[in-house]
Amino acid sequence: MNENKEKKQLLIYVIIAYGVTFLMGLFIWFGNSRGMDVSVFPAAQMMYPAAGVMFAYLFTGEENLPKGYYITFLIVTGIMIALSFLSLFVPVELPMLGAMGLTFWSMISQYVLILGSIALWIALFVTKKEKRRAWGLGFFNGKASAICAVLFLVLYVARTAFSCLIAGQMGEFMALFSNSATWINTAVLPINFFLVFAAFFGEEYGWRYYLQPLMQKKFGKRAGVILLGIVWGLWHLPLDFWYYSNTGLAMSAAQQITCITLGIFFAYAYMKTGNIWVPVALHYLNNNLIPIFSGNYSADVLENQTIAWGDLPFALLINVLFFGLFIFAKTFREKDSVSQQ
């Protein structure tokens, strides 16, 4: 690829993936400081990295793009941004939804994501196979992909069990498996994925498909992925301070631990399979297993967490142990080539 064109694409990507994120972050701060509804903003933010990639390719005249898929995704992104503003400035109070941790606009945003995800599946499958493969949308290496998904599930459960063991909460952990809600919600995870994948694709197409190969090309396979984890963590800053937690600095440090270590495993899975749908699915599982293993199925389960600095050393240890050590996997050997699927 022409070097100037690649630089222009990266600039467009950064402006959208980070510029829009931090601009919208000002509105999250504004809403949060006034007790307004900001629940739509996180889902909208997840769309920006992929939107950045798509705008970069469209504006620099890349040929043979999957334009139908791209345009559909960008329309959904635009609607999510509009809903974010509506949630701030046109509040709708429905007590019945409030009891479930939902707001009117967050419910509408879920419907938009469902309809948008269905539209994206249609747009994907009417796109020619060769075009899907050329732009990172193809399905590759089914067996290796399934192994990576199962491995992630095993590691996730093992990490949770180990945390509970150390905290003296194994009784609560084991009780989850005798709770019918655990099994019902686990059973519907695959179905729900197809209905809400758009947001998770939004992140992974930007991070793993586009930015990871660039970072690895410039800094090497291992350093590139670690640096990607850092910039991925920094991208969460508006949410860390004004949505996820009331302890912003500690939350942002915890976010770095999560993004670097999970980013290593996601990178491993993507490099192992060449299939972007694997990290998309893993990202979906990571987020949606939280309510199952916390036993909290409220829609606002991720809001207003309290993270203490004293929690971070153990969080670092356990995440490095279960996910970060994959940085030493054979896949990350520097002599291997780095290519963008």
250-288 as b/e: b if 16+ CB within 10 A: bbbbbbbbbbbbbbbbbbbbbbbbbbbbbbbbbbbbbeb
Find the domain containing 144 and state its range.
3-332
User: 266 in a domain, yes or no?
Assistant: yes
pLDDT at 98: 58
Q: Is residue 64 part of a domain?
A: yes
Q: CA-CA distance, 21 to 203, in Å (whole number)?
A: 12
Number of domains in the chain: 1
- Give dist(CA 21, CA 14) in Å, integer: 10
Does residue 338 form part of some domain?
no
pTM above 0.85, yes or no: yes
- Give me the mean pLDDT over the 311-318 stretch: 95
Q: pLDDT band for position 297 (50/70/90)?
A: low
Would you say 123 and 80 are in contact if contact means Cβ atoms under 8 Å apart?
no
Domain annotation covers residue 101: yes
CB 322 within 8 A of CB 166: no
Q: What angle do CA 136, 137, 141 make, to 5 degrees?
A: 85
Handedness of CA 89, 93, 81, 203 (dihedral sign): positive
Residue 35 pLDDT grade (very low, low, confident, very high; cuts 50, 70, 90): confident
Q: Is the pLDDT of residue 192 over 90?
A: yes
* Within-domain flag for 339: no
Q: What pLDDT is stored for residue 337 in this prediction? A: 43
Q: How confident is the model at residue 336 (pLDDT cuts 50, 70, 90)?
A: low
Instruction: Assess if residue 341 is contained within a domain.
Output: no
pLDDT > 50? residue 341: no
SS3 assignment, position 136? coil
Token pair of 319, please? 């995440």
**What is the per-residue pLDDT for 300?**
60
CB atoms within 10 A of CB 300: 15
Q: Could you tell me if residue 340 is inside a domain?
A: no
Residue 305's beta-bridge partner residues?
245
User: Do the domain assignments include residue 80?
Assistant: yes
CA-atom Rg of the chain in angstroms: 20
Q: Can you tell me the mean pLDDT for 263-274?
A: 97
* Bigger pLDDT: 54 vs 2: 54
